[in-house]
Amino acid sequence: MTEDKAAPASGIILVVGGGISGLTTALEAAEVGYEVFLVEKNPYLGGRVAQLNQYFPKLCPPTCGLEINFRRIKDNPRIKVFTLAEVTKVDGAAGNYDVSIELSPRYVNENCTCCGDCAAACETEIDSDYDFGMKKVKGAYLPFEMAFPSRYVISPQIIGTDDAQKCADACQYDAVDLTMQPKTIDLSVGAIVWSTGWEPYDATKIDNLGFGQYANIITNMMMERLAAPNGPTKGNIVRPSDDKAPESIAFVQCAGSRDENHLPYCSYICCMASLKQATYVRERYPEAKIYIFYIDLRAPGYRYEQFYNKIKEDENVFFIKGKVAEVSEDAGSKNITVVAENAVTGEKIHQTVDMAVLATGMQPTAANAKLPADLTYTEDGFIINDFAKGGMFASGCANKPLDVVSSNQNATGMALKAIQTLVRR
């Protein structure tokens, strides 16, 4: 900015969701001078991106980009972050909303130094949602190394048990406060940006693809966790049934996407995600064979297409045009056989592999839990941006399936829309 035009502080922007879109919306608005409340339901910021191993196409770890954003938030007094927080009520109109937010107790206060004594003292182990249940964590845990805020969480599952008390006793900093209660706060804001993001489509619903039935069929998001250095296998891609290094992997594209029995739309990212994951496998297992079964491949733009072309040159990666519609498991070896028709040659292929990855799509969070606000949705649960009405907007994957880059572009745009709502009054 060439001249200092302090934005009129005529209101506050509420950003719902602390994933990459919400972070960007919040930061872009705050860094031009607006007050922002950032509300996140998880105990940490970063959303889905925080679960990834690498971004495509640059294959850099997402923690890198997240860290910069976390630092920007830390340095910016205009952003107030609420974690373990959910919006329960929105009243009013553009420029003047009354919002109720329910805060769940974290049972750990600002004194926490992340020393980990509470986790060491805790005996109970719980499933880690962050790792899609592939890992157990202690009842007192740090969501992940880079978590922001960098504070432990005591799971409500151990509250009231001896374990909780042990955690409290172990803490040398009086950081564990088991008396914390849920509370509701009321905020007045001028504009709201819903950055409620997405959930991986529930693969158990795709009954012909065997997820949940056969151990060695996983989803693409599980693959991210397997490949991530902080994941359940510390970055070793091994198959769930016997921790064996896979010699062959099938990627099943459009698993539940572009399918009117599931998600009728294209989830946009799964092709690139599978191409990226092919590099994870190739890097670790140079001899492994990779079979990518697809209907159409979507690698939009020069950089993505270049990425695709590079993978295509790999002689151990085979592309088969044909959707997998049947899977089976060999009872002894636990190998998976996927069946598809190669639509180019007209032959049915029964490909046996060590494990299969379902490229499941993204479903907007709002599809399964309607938001407490007067919003309009597509049939599939994406929020429709009504710019004429203004006041409330959706950014990122709450609005449509997007990759990280486009989410950020979209989020910046929605930050501007929110600002316009405030200054027009």
Residues engaged in binding another protein (CB under 8 A): 208, 254, 258-262, 295-296, 321-326, 339-343, 346-348, 350
CA distance 380 to 30: 31
The answer to whether the CB of 401 falls within 8 A of the CB of 361 is yes
Please name the residues in contact with 126: beta carbons below 8 A apart, sequence gap of 6 or more.
Answer: 136, 137, 138, 139, 141, 155, 157, 158
Q: Checking DSSP bridges between strand 362-364 and strand 198-200, what pairing results, if any?
A: antiparallel
The answer to whether the CB of 103 falls within 8 A of the CB of 183 is yes
Residue 263: CB minimum distance to another protein, A: 10
Backbone angles phi, psi at 255, to 5 degrees: -75, 95
Q: Which two tokens stand for residue 197?
A: 């993001």
Judged by beta carbon, residue 32 or residue 266, the one nearer another protein is 266
Residue 353: CB minimum distance to another protein, A: 16
CA distance 142 to 112: 11
Judged by beta carbon, residue 74 or residue 348, the one nearer another protein is 348
The label of the residue with tokens 């009872």 reads 331
Judged by beta carbon, residue 126 or residue 295, the one nearer another protein is 295
Angle between helices 270-284 and 301-313 (to 10 degrees): 40
CA distance 110 to 129: 24
Residue 318: CB minimum distance to another protein, A: 16
Residue 340: CB minimum distance to another protein, A: 6
Please name the residues in contact with 318: beta carbons below 8 A apart, sequence gap of 6 or more.
Answer: 289, 290, 291, 292
Q: Which two tokens stand for residue 357?
A: 């990855």
Residue 264: CB minimum distance to another protein, A: 8
Q: Checking DSSP bridges between strand 191-194 and strand 198-200, what pairing results, if any?
A: unpaired
Judged by beta carbon, residue 242 or residue 326, the one nearer another protein is 326
Judged by beta carbon, residue 4 or residue 260, the one nearer another protein is 260
Q: Which two tokens stand for residue 134?
A: 């592939």
Residue 252: CB minimum distance to another protein, A: 11
Residue 266: CB minimum distance to another protein, A: 11
Judged by beta carbon, residue 86 or residue 341, the one nearer another protein is 341
Judged by beta carbon, residue 38 or residue 254, the one nearer another protein is 254
Could you please report the per-residue DSSP string of 250-291?
EEEEEESSS-TTS--S--SSHHHHHHHHHHHHHHH-TT-EEE
Q: Checking DSSP bridges between strand 140-141 and strand 153-154, what pairing results, if any?
A: antiparallel
Judged by beta carbon, residue 142 or residue 362, the one nearer another protein is 362
The answer to whether the CB of 290 falls within 8 A of the CB of 316 is yes
Question: What type of residue is 56?
Answer: F
Residue 72: CB minimum distance to another protein, A: 42
Residue 253: CB minimum distance to another protein, A: 10
Judged by beta carbon, residue 114 or residue 339, the one nearer another protein is 339
CA distance 414 to 193: 7
Residue 258: CB minimum distance to another protein, A: 6
Judged by beta carbon, residue 109 or residue 328, the one nearer another protein is 328
